[in-house]
Structure 1
C-alpha cells in the first residue's frame, strides 16, 4: 500500500499555504532520493497563454527552496506541444512561460524546454507494454538525474482527469511521442492553407514529403511530427483518431517509460486547486468543477492521482469527470499503470497540518 500525504487549504490567516507544501515535500525525504550536485527537473505545466487555471509559480517556490537546500541543481521544465499554439516551439514556449510567471526573476532557477527547439530532441526507451514496445521521450528529461513532478489535478477531455500520470506521459514525451499517443495515422496537409514553401520537406527526418502544388505526406512518414512545428501557415494538422481508451492506456505506458528512464527517482506533488474541467493547454478555462481541495505528495503516481480523484468525489458526492466525459472511465489510466507496476491504487492518506 502506498502512502499519500495530504494538506488541506484550511488555514489560519497568518500561516502561509506554502508552509504546508514545504512540510509535504519534506515528508518525501528528497535528500534520500537525489544525490548532491545532481540535475533535477521540476516538471510542471506552464499553461497556454490566456489560461488562468494552471498552477501559480509561487507554489513551486517551496519545492525549489528545499531542493537547493539539499544541494541539488533544480531547473523548471516542460515540453513543446503537438498542436500549434504558444508552446509549439521553444522560443514561443519560453516567452509564454515567462509571461505566465515562470522565469528566473520569480523562482531563481533556469527554465529549459526539454525536447529541443521544435520538439525534435527525442530519445526512444524500450518498454514491455501491451500497446507499445517503446516510448519517445524528451531528451533533457531522460538525461536528468531525477524529477519532481508537480501536477495540476483537473479534468481532461481524453482521459477524464489529468494529474501525475498525464504530466509524466504527455508532459515528458517528445512531439513524436505525443503523436503516437493521440493518433494512429500520419499528419495530414490542409491543402487550402499550403503555399508549397517546402519548409516541411526540409525538416522531415524520413524524406516522406513531396512538393508540387502543395505538400503531400507519403507512407514513408514515421510520425516524428517535425513538419507540424515548422509550417508557417499551420497547414499540417494532427488526425486525432486514436480512441480515448487507447490514448489513456498509452499514457500509462509512457508514464511507465519515464519512470524506468529515471530509475524511479521521481517525487510527486499534485495541487488540487482551481480544478478546471479541461486541460491547461487551452487558451482559456471554464469555472472549476469542485471547490479547492489542497496539496498532495507521494512517491507513487498512481496513488496520488487516485487520492485526488477520491477526494473530489467525496466532496461532491458524485464523479464530475465522468459526468462531463461520459465516454471514458477516468480510472482506465490508473488501472493500467498499476498493472504495469508503476504504482498502487491502494493507499493510506496521511494528513499533514
Structure 2
C-alpha cells in the first residue's frame, strides 16, 4: 500500500500490523487466520494479559446477519490469549444478544471460551460517568468492560450511515454503553432544520430525496428525517417551495463523531494503554452496520486483518485500505449511487469517515501517522 502519511500532523508513527487476505499458496498457514496467529505472536500478549481475565469486545450481530466476524478468527485469538496465560471471554452489550449468538455460530464450544453480557443478565451492571459535550451529559458504561483490567477490542469493519464508517471506535463507543447512552449519542446528529409552521406538507422534499430519508405524516403534521440515510445533498432544501427546510450546518454529523470519540476516550481511560489491543477485520465489508440484523454484498474485495495498540493509527490504516477504485458495482441498495467525495464511504454516505479519526486524535487517543508492518 502507498504511504498515506503525507499531510498528517508530524508525530511518531505508530505500528499497525497487517495480514492480507490474499493467499499465496494452498496452505492453511498462508490464509488469513494463519496470518492473524502470526500477528498475535508479534505482540506481547503476556504483558497485556498478566494471567488476568481478558475481555474480547465484539459485536455479535443479530437477526439474519451472516457477515460478522467468523468464529475461526475468534478462536484463533482466544487460543493466543490462553497461550499467553490469559483467561479470555467474549463480551457484547445486551443479554439478548448473547442469548441469540449461537444462531450465528458463537458458542463457548466454537470459540473456546465463555460468552457473557457486558451488563449482566438484566443489563443493569452499569457505571455512570459524567461528560459534557453539547446535549451529552453522561455515559452509562457496561460494568464488565469498566471493571476489566485489560481489553482486546475485536471489530468488524463496515460502512455506517450515521458516521460513514464503523470499526474499533464504534465497537467501543456504541457497543460498551447502555441504550440510553446510544440514544443520547445519536441525538447529536442533525444539520437540517424543519420549520413546521412554514411547511404545507406538499411532499416535494420526499420526492427529491433519492435515499428515502424523509417521511411526512400529513394527518399528524409531522416530518421525520432519518440522518442515517441522509447524505446532506440539499436536494430537499432546494425542492421545498416554502423554504421550510434549511441546512443549518453541512458538517453537523461531525458532532456524532465527537460524541463517539468522547465515549471512546472515557471507556479507554479505565485501562493502562499498554493493556489494550485493537484488532480490525477487513472482510465482508458491507455498506451498513451489523446492527441491522442483516447482511448485504461486500462493497470491496476482502482486504485482511490489522492490529495495533493505537486506535487512531488502526482506524486510519483501515480507512486508507478501503479504496474507491476497488468498489464492486451493484453492491449498493437499489436507487443508491456513488456521489462526490474523496473516500469511497464518503461517496456512498456523503460524510467524511476520516472525521472520526480526527475526532479521536483531537482527544489524544493516538496518532494518525502509522507504519504498516505486513506479516506474511
Q: TM-score if structure 2 supplies the norm length? A: 0.72
Give deviations 1:121-155, integer Å, cap 9, x for gaps.
Answer: 22023567687564321111001111111111110
1:56 aligned residue (64, 70, 93): 70
Output one character per residue of 1:281-306: Cα deviation in whole Å (capped at 9) or x when no partner. 11212211100000101001111111
Q: 1:132 to 1:344 in 2, by over 3 A?
A: farther
In 1, Cα distance between equivalents of 2:353 and 2:74: 27
SS in 2 for 1:102: coil
Counterpart-to-counterpart distance in 2, 1:304 and 1:63: 18
Change (3 A) 1:175 1:44: same
Residues 42-81 of structure 1 show CA distances to partners (whole Å, capped at 9, x for unaligned) of 011111120111111111111100111122111001102x
1:2 aligns with 14
Q: Deviations over 1:195-225 (max 9, x none)?
A: xxxxxxxxxxxxxxxxxxxxxxxxxxxxxxx
SS in 1 for 2:257: helix
| Alignment match, 1:320 | 344
The yes-or-no answer on 1:183 pairing with 2:187 is yes
**Using the alignment, how far apart are the partners of 1:278 and 1:294 within structure 2?**
19
- 2:267 corresponds in structure 1 to 258
Deviations 1:248-270 (A, max 9, x none): 11111111111101232210111
On the 8 A contact 2:49/2:85 being kept in 1, the answer is no
1:342 Cα offset (Å): 0.7
1:78-227 matches, cutoff 5 A: 78-80=92-94, 90=95, 92-126=96-130, 134-183=138-187
Q: How many residues align?
A: 289
Matches of 1:167 and 1:100, distance apart in 2: 18
- SS of 2:298's equivalent? coil
Partner of 1:14: 27
In the alignment, the residues of structure 2 paired with residue 304 and residue 261 of structure 1 have an alpha-carbon distance, to the nearest angstrom, of: 20
Rg larger in structure: 2
- Per-residue CA deviation, residues 320-348 of structure 1 (Å, 9 max, x unaligned), is 2111100x221111101101111111111
Q: What corresponds to 2:234 in structure 1?
A: none
Which stretch has the larger CA shift, 6-15 or 162-171?
6-15
Contact 2:324 2:344 in 1 (8 A): no
Could you tell me which runs of 5 or more consecutive residues in structure 1 were left unpaired when the two chains were aligned.
81-89, 186-238
> Which aligned pairs between 1:241-320 and structure 2 lie closer than 5 A?
244-264=253-273, 265-313=275-323, 316=326, 319-320=343-344
Q: Which residue of 2 aligns with 1:220?
A: none
Find the residue that maps to 2:60 and give its secondary structure: coil
| Equivalent in 360, 368, 371 of residue 337 of structure 1 | 360
Give 5+ residue unaligned stretches, structure 2. 1-12, 190-224, 229-251, 328-341
Distance 2:149 2:134 in 1: 28
Could you tell me which residue of structure 1 aligns to residue 245 of structure 2? none
In structure 2, the CA distance between the partners of 1:319 and 1:184, relative to structure 1 (3 Å rule), is closer
Do 1:158 and 1:248's aligned partners in 2 also have CA atoms closer than 8 Å? no
SS of the counterpart of 2:291?
coil
Q: Secondary structure of the residue that 2:356 maps to in structure 1? A: helix
Q: Are 2:61 and 2:97, in contact at CA under 8 Å, matched by a contact in 1?
A: no
